[in-house]
Structure 1
Amino acid sequence: MGTSTVSRTLLSDSSSTWALIRPLDQRSSSVGLVQLYVIARHGESTLNFENRVNGDPNVPVHLTEKGRDEARLLGEQLAHVPLQLCVHTEFSRTRETAEIALAGRDVPLEEDAELGDIRIGELEGKTLDEYRTWKHTHSRSDAFPGGESLDDAARRYAGAFEHLLERPETAILVVTHEIPLRYAINAADGSDDLDGPAHLLANATPYLFDADALRRAIAQIRRLS
């Protein structure tokens, strides 16, 4: 699995404080935690397939057949995790992923717009290359034309993660987007770059965080944005 922080082993299977920034596997799925947050990106969407970007939840973007298969696999991976709540964003691709993954389970679904994808304004529907070119020629504090800045989005995500920590449920699935998940992973690991070293995250792959890991992520995101 390489040397990336997202695949490192746990410090302790019995501790409620994990070295948590790793995909869920069979070994960890049945381990109890005081607080468990399973954060996953949505399944492959039609615009993922077309290498185009979407930051407007009012634009209908659905899962591909591959994305639906990924969502079903996510559900299988989480079958033995005693989830009490699923939070998804206002984007249809996250709701579809959650509904497919949790089909047949009595897990309530809630929407949180603050976890939604970055608002890219005039870049809506542009190619991934166009998005990356704009991003790499501007600072994190520069807002996308008609949208928000990367720092704006980061602060929004930090607030959403804080709200998760306030929830009474002890096992929560969060179906969100690549950017908030990437920021959470890198920030919890102490990186000074929210976009790295973990930067290419597979669709519908569950990552485990305990409360301490999420608190570290929040503090680092706020410090860097």
Structure 2
Amino acid sequence: MTASRLFLVRHAQTASNVSQTLGAAPDDPLDPLGERQARAVAAHFAALRLPDPRVYASTYRRAQQTAQAIAEALGVSVTPLDGVQEFQTGTWAGRPYRHLQTHLHEWQHADGTPGFPGGESLRGAAQRFQAALASVLEAPGTPIVVSHGGVLAAGLALLLKADLLEAWRAGRFTHSNAAVTELRLHQGVWRPQRLADQAHLPDELH
């Protein structure tokens, strides 16, 4: 049976998010504010009283830490989910986030495909994110998937059948730290109930 409700969460804040630097290491941990964000999003999910919640997370430390807070609040365990980790940024590792706007003309592979030079393409990352969700959506329960800003934006564009490059350029599916997206399946089509929502975070945690 396919799940009809899906929650997607960007991990809470890390030092690399504060410095606005691409290509953070897989073991990059939450910073103190990020730990508070994780507890706040966990309390939010506990208050929803979801039927049979299932918590999944990228294998990266920051996603695992965020997911663990949610799982503990719900009384369940975290299942690592390969395929929802962040983009491989190739030669752009260490560059500032702003280059994704100011240097977008350089953001391509040798054949002109949009993506990180020496790393993943936009469509490639979106497709592996979507493929990773497939097994989650076939399992019973209400899935909550903790992922990363870049791949989450790309994957959502594909899942919601938006123009991938146009949505990326416009920042249409950009998620701040600890933001939550809720999707419902209606006649075989995913529709957003809320998108990149941070209403559950107190003002001092934004």
TM class by smaller structure: 0.7 to 0.9
Question: Who is 2:174 aligned against?
Answer: 200
Amino acid at match of 2:38: A
More strand by share: 2
Deviation at 1:131, TM superposition (A): 4.7
Question: Who is 2:29 aligned against?
Answer: 62
Mean Cα deviation higher: 65-74 or 191-200? 191-200
| SS of 1:78 mapped into structure 2 | helix
User: What is the alpha-carbon distance in structure 2 between the residues aligned to residue 186 and residue 155 of structure 1?
Assistant: 10
| SS of 2:167 mapped into structure 1 | coil
User: What is the alpha-carbon distance in structure 1 between the residues aligned to residue 87 and residue 175 of structure 2?
Assistant: 16
Any conservation in 1 of the 2:157–2:167 contact (CA below 8 Å)?
yes
For 1:74-223, list aligned pairs within 5 A: 74-79=41-46, 80-139=49-108, 141-166=113-138, 168-192=139-163, 193-195=166-168, 196=170, 198-212=172-186, 216=190
Tell me the TM-score normalised to structure 2 length: 0.75
Any conservation in 1 of the 2:29–2:61 contact (CA below 8 Å)?
yes
The count of residues paired between Structure 1 and Structure 2 equals 182
| SS of 2:116 mapped into structure 1 | coil
User: What is the alpha-carbon distance in structure 2 between the residues aligned to residue 211 and residue 164 of structure 1?
Assistant: 14
Deviation at 1:67, TM superposition (A): 1.0
After superposition, the C-alpha distances for 1:76-134 in whole angstroms (9 at most, x for unaligned) are: 11012234321100111100111123325321211122111111122222221345445
Once superposed, what is the RMSD of the aligned Cα atoms? Answer: 2.8
Question: Who is 2:15 aligned against?
Answer: 46
Any conservation in 1 of the 2:56–2:80 contact (CA below 8 Å)?
yes
Deviation at 1:143, TM superposition (A): 4.8
Any conservation in 1 of the 2:10–2:178 contact (CA below 8 Å)?
yes
Question: Who is 1:28 aligned against?
Answer: none
Question: Who is 2:199 aligned against?
Answer: none
**Using a 3 Å threshold, how does the CA distance of structure 1 residues 136 and 74 change in structure 2: closer, same or farther?**
farther
